[in-house]
Amino acid sequence: MPFNLLADPWLEVRRLSGKKDYISPCGLTDQFATDPVMALDFPRVDWNAAVSEFLIGLTFLAFPFLKREAGAWAEYFETPPTSAQLQEKWCPFLPSLNFDGNGPLAFQDFDSLEAQLPKPVSSLLIEAPGENTEKNNTDLFVKRGGVTALCQPYAAAALITLQTYAPSGGRGYRTSLRGGGPLTTLIAPLRSGQKMTRLWDKVWANIPYLENHDEKDLAAIQAQIFPWLQPTILSNKGVSISSDGRPLALAFFACPRRIRLVFTEGECSLTGQKGLVVENYRNQNPGGDYQCWQHPLSPYYRDKNKKLLPIHPHAGNSSYKDWLGWWGFNGTPAQSLKNWGSRKEEIEDILDVATPEKIEAFGYDMDKWKARQWLHAETPWLPDSHENLKESVKDFIDATDEAARAVLSTCRIALYGQEQKDGSYRIDSNAKESLKEASDQFWDITQPDFQQYLKVLKERSAQSGCLGINDIDLRQEWHKNLCQKAYSVFNAFVDVSSLTGQNPRRLVFAQDNLSKLLWLKVAQSALGLQSKQSGKSKRKAA
């Protein structure tokens, strides 16, 4: 019997009791009331992430609801389908998800690619060293030779991850439907009395709704959903695979890379188990070029030409300065985040009131084909429909950004400033990239306070509805908080008491400049506070 991604127990999971288990997708809701599945438990975090997205896509195939069917969605959240019900729903898709054997193979090319030279299976791993990396000995995450064979479950997880997050790989190597290493944001709801989100709840909370033009019977159009059921649409002549006329479900199963795995008897490098393994694979360029898609699990931003583009993790630390983009400011949030407001209303009585739902954000920070780091962050959920709340939140974060810039620039002036003819000081060109850790520290130490203010803003918004938020007192408090933290970070980095040999005028200039910026840029410009005396706001009354 061929290995099948729906029928075989290939998913490594962890249950509430801490027990490790192996289930098929139909086992997602098994023992839900007694010892539910809490999370995937593969040995790599990117595998867990990509397979989670795969499960969301599979579940969408089984339950293709329209938005007007929110009540039916709520029923399955309250009482999840049984394993038998899931099996029945997925039965029509079973033949399309064979992973080895004869015929079309899941996430692999329609053609056998037998004319291509085999490559080591380790190259399926996103951060695996490429040919130039090996020549130059610049491996970053995984040293060569570490993985020589993968068992079928691990080979499936690795291939799904590569197709889902495919980075640039040189000429003809196509990136994923969202580009290389995209950012994914998922709603993680919490049931009343629970401390952790169950895997089914996370999967179910993030399935998209059918678009109006989509075919309701997805089983009848499988050839349009699974690319491996028909010859690959090649992109060597400028041909792309656009979303026009194609079902939304394809976004979960896109295959930008043309790959065929080579199965043989052997021993898995990671588990030590003997049996059918993958030691090599064949690939051929170019693959499929996916263009103009809006993936339901990713936020998008608008570029200068107003075109929507997927957000990607960036280098360095991530903090709440990134949340605006993840929430869909200057663009649109992931569809699952937009849907959560109405869905939450349907199931509010079974959710934990004291612990609000959170957003999990994750993805690779890529430099072309090089993986620099893996991002995993958690943020509060922000209602997409409350415009007054969004305005206030943006102002608060903009204020932090201005304060962080002020701290950074004045620290640089205090330590490296060059005196000008007019008696002022400017940052020396050699110091313009220094002390970035001062800005990072400022964001870090203000984040807990921001989350508390955000909680209050959300409460006031919920109480006032569409009438607006009376938040002038919070703006004043936030400005005071930012000032205190700004002076604290400035003093920590400059350490005025120990700089006895420094020009005192330069230090005084930097301190005065910090005070001016904290008022002009933070209080007036970002927070809209009119004057230090009145404390009034320039914002229009609601």
Question: For each of the chain's 542 residues, which pLDDT tens digit applies?
Answer: 899 999 999 999 999 999 999 999 999 999 999 999 999 999 999 999 999 999 999 999 999 999 999 999 999 999 999 999 999 999 999 999 999 999 999 999 999 999 999 999 999 999 855 544 444 444 445 444 589 999 999 999 999 999 999 998 777 789 999 999 899 999 999 999 999 999 999 999 999 999 866 678 999 999 999 999 999 988 877 789 999 989 999 999 999 999 999 999 999 999 999 999 999 999 998 889 999 999 999 999 999 999 999 999 988 888 999 999 999 999 999 999 999 999 999 999 999 988 888 999 999 998 888 888 999 999 999 988 788 899 999 999 999 999 999 999 999 998 888 888 888 888 877 777 788 999 999 999 999 999 999 999 999 988 876 556 789 999 999 999 999 999 999 999 987 666 655 677 888 899 999 999 999 999 999 999 986 544 455 554 44
| Residue 259: strand pairing partners | 283
Query: CA–CA separation, 253 vs 436, rounded Å?
Result: 40
DSSP category for residue 524: I
Cis peptide bond upstream of 167, omega within 30: no
CA angle 20, 46, 189 (to 5 degrees): 70
Burial of 140 (0-12, 13-18, 19+ CB in 10 A): middle
Q: Which helix (H) or strand (E) segment is 49 a member of?
A: helix 45-62
CB distance 40 to 141 below 8 Å: no
Query: CA–CA separation, 354 vs 187, rounded Å?
Result: 17
What is the reported pLDDT for 499?
Answer: 61
Query: What are the two backbone dihedrals, phi and then psi, of residue 433, each rounded to the nearest 5 degrees?
Result: -110, 10
What is the reported pLDDT for 128?
Answer: 59
Query: CA–CA separation, 520 vs 414, rounded Å?
Result: 20
Query: CA–CA separation, 402 vs 89, rounded Å?
Result: 52
Residue type present at position 320: Y
Contacts of 117 (CB under 8 A, 6+ apart): 282
Write down the pTM of the prediction: 0.92
Residue 532 has a CB neighbour count (10 Å cut-off) of 10
The tokens describing 394, both together, are: 């943006």
The tokens describing 94, both together, are: 């079973």
The tokens describing 533, both together, are: 């005396």
CB distance 28 to 199 below 8 Å: yes
Q: Which residue has the tokens 């608008």?
A: 302
Query: CA–CA separation, 240 vs 187, rounded Å?
Result: 31
CB distance 266 to 279 below 8 Å: yes
| Residue 277: strand pairing partners | 151, 264
CA angle 461, 466, 469 (to 5 degrees): 40
Which of these, 78, 80, 61, 48, lies nearest to 6 by C-alpha position? 61
Q: Which residue has the tokens 């990509």?
A: 50
Burial of 275 (0-12, 13-18, 19+ CB in 10 A): exposed
What is the reported pLDDT for 537?
Answer: 56
Burial 383-405 (b: 16+ CB within 10 A, else e): bbebebbbebbebbbbbbbbbbe
Query: CA–CA separation, 87 vs 6, rounded Å?
Result: 8
What is the reported pLDDT for 369?
Answer: 81
Burial 333-349 (b: 16+ CB within 10 A, else e): bbbbbbbbeebbebbee
**Sign (positive or negative) of CA dihedral 452, 453, 456, 458:** negative
Contacts of 113 (CB under 8 A, 6+ apart): 258, 259, 260, 282, 283, 284
What is the reported pLDDT for 214?
Answer: 65
Pairing between strand 290-291 and 241-242?
Answer: parallel
CB distance 152 to 97 below 8 Å: no
Percent of the chain past pLDDT 90, that is, above it, reads 74
Q: Which helix (H) or strand (E) segment is 390 a member of?
A: helix 387-416
Query: CA–CA separation, 1 vs 211, rounded Å?
Result: 36
Torsion angle, alpha carbons of 63, 66, 70, 72, to 10? -40
CA 81 to chain centre: 27
What is the reported pLDDT for 449?
Answer: 97
Category of 333 on φ-ψ map: left (φ > 0), alpha (ψ -120 to 50) or beta: beta
**Sign (positive or negative) of CA dihedral 86, 88, 94, 99:** positive
CB distance 59 to 39 below 8 Å: no
User: Hey, where are the domains in the chain?
Assistant: 11-380, 387-526
The arrangement of secondary structure in 387-526, i.e. its CATH architecture, is: Orthogonal Bundle (1.10)
Query: CA–CA separation, 436 vs 493, rounded Å?
Result: 11
Helix (H, G, I), strand (E, B) or coil at 336: helix
